[in-house]
Each structure stands twice: as structure tokens, then as C-alpha cells.
Amino acid sequence: ERGSAASLFSAVAGESLSDLNFGKAFADILEAEEGQATRLILTFAQSEARTFTDAHWRAVSDLSRIGLKFALTDVTDLDMDFE
């Protein structure tokens, strides 16, 4: 409302990403708040991303389609492949 274009980083747990109720509710809120999804950057630890299942990656993909961005925290090496 104040015209800020700043981004907001927020940590998210992999467990939340794989929870269908969380993902749907989160997507509904962001779709209702037009333009806010592009300002939000969800973060998760590299060690947690290494344990993501296909369900986790589907959730990341679904959320990215509505404009969300993602970032890794606690990076210990660059040995990861993000197709």
C-alpha cells in the first residue's frame, strides 16, 4: 500500500511444501493478493532440499507458476542439479 517494491524472504519447511492443504491455501491467498506472489521469496535449507521428494518438487513447481521465487540457505556446496 505504501508503494514499496521490496521483496520479502520467508523460510518454509519442506514438510509444509508437501502438505496439500498448506499448498492450496497458500496459493489461494497469493492469488487473491494480486502481485504479492512476485515479491515473496521462499527459502529452504540446502540440506532439506536434498531430501525433497517428487511431491515437494511438484509443490515448488506449482508455486513458481503463480510467481513465487525460491532461494537456498545454509549452502555448503554447489553440487546440486536443478532441472
On whether the CB atoms of residues 43 and 69 are closer than 8 A, the answer is no
**Measured distance CA(23)–CA(28) in Å, rounded:** 9
**Measured distance CA(26)–CA(74) in Å, rounded:** 24
Question: What does the pLDDT look like over 4-59, one tens digit per residue?
Answer: 778 888 898 888 887 878 877 877 877 777 777 778 899 999 999 999 999 888 88
pTM of the model: 0.78
